[in-house]
Amino acid sequence: MILLRALACQMPALLLTVGLAYWLPIFHHPIVFLFSQSGLAVGGSLLLRQPTWWIPIHLLFLPSVFVFFTLALPAWWYLFIVVTLTLIFWGTIRGDVPLFLSSSEVAQAVITLLQQEHALTFADLGAGVGSVAIPVAKNLPETQVEAWERAPFPWLISAWRGRGLLNYTASRRNFFAADFAKYDVIFAFLSPLAMPDVSEKIKRKMRSGTLFISSSFPAPDWQPESILRMNDRRKTVLYCYRID
């Protein structure tokens, strides 16, 4: 379905640009052709209300295909690139959140919150390469840290970075399989698309009095107990929710 929507942006944009090139010679210029197609594909993506991370994908898709063909790389390069991107972005094509990394300011704010909460158990749902989970495990040796990540490459990096940390576990699994009732604090940096399902499970399964921290995306229909604004490059906002 997600792939079909992406095609529904790319294909009409391509046909329209081919049509324009038929009537208007300016579109014979590769740059004009490629960027008109990309621009139209982005327009389609906005119309279909795809998540914002599709914008760079649509913008770069046809220009990248063009560049790779002009470079005439050996065939195994294509396989290598596809396999590497698949291992990094694993479920993105099915609608999972792609890999974005939290800043060190976010990691420090989470550490401070865990200290205030006297948390002994912590989970990062979709831990990526461990940008938050690793500093937490290093700074709070009393806290058991579980980093859930199902994309193979990020998981491998997180597991490698956590080797030797006795309070750190990197699980290469869907975080919906986690027992949310185990944790004193859960952190997630996901997407608006993921928030309804995640916050519904958090509300149902986390123990009363525990804390859920959502980076960047608020949980729908839930009043945060506090909101923390980071001074990092992305001006990240942390939404903190107390479980009733």
**Shortest distance in whole angstroms from residue 194 CB to ligand SAM:** 6
> Of 41 and 145, which CB lies nearer to ligand SAM in the complex structure?
145
- Looking at the Cβ atoms of 30 and 192, the one nearer to ligand SAM is 192
Return the structure tokens found at 220. 């729908």
Using CA atoms, how far residue 155 sits from 82, 170, 186, 239, in Å, is: 18, 7, 18, 25
Among residues 44 and 130, whose Cβ is nearest to ligand SAM? 130
3-state class of 176 per DSSP?
helix
Q: Are the C-beta atoms of 240 and 213 separated by less than 8 Å?
A: yes
- Taking the complex as a whole, the smallest distance from the CB of residue 66 to ligand SAM amounts, in Å, to 29
CB neighbour burial string for 65-90, b if at least 16 within 10 angstroms, e if fewer: eeeeeeeeeeeeeeeeeeeeeeebbb
Nearest approach, Cβ of 155 to ligand SAM (angstroms)?
8
Residues near ligand SAM (CB under 6 A): 90-91, 96-97, 99-102, 124, 126-128, 131-132, 148-151, 154, 174-176, 189-190
The secondary structure element, H or E, covering residue 188 is strand 185-188
In the complex, the smallest distance separating the C-beta of residue 96 from ligand SAM, rounded to whole angstroms, is 4
Is the Cβ–Cβ distance between 99 and 131 less than 8 Å? no
Nearer to ligand SAM, 223 or 231 (CB): 231
Joined tokens for residue 78: 């294509």
CA 153 to chain centre: 14
Give min distance, CB of 4 to ligand SAM, in A: 20
Q: Output the smallest distance, CB 79 to ligand SAM, in A.
A: 22
Closest CB to ligand SAM among 100 and 222? 100
Q: Residue 207's CB: how many other CB atoms inside 10 A?
A: 11
Determine the residue with CB nearest ligand SAM: 126
Nearer to ligand SAM, 35 or 100 (CB): 100
Residue among 131 and 199 whose Cβ is closer to ligand SAM = 131
Six-digit token string for 136: 């937490």
Rounded to an integer, what distance in angstroms lies between the CA atom of residue 150 and that of residue 179? 16
Count other Cβ atoms within 10 Å, centred on residue 121: 16
Shortest reach from residue 75's CB to ligand SAM, in Å: 28
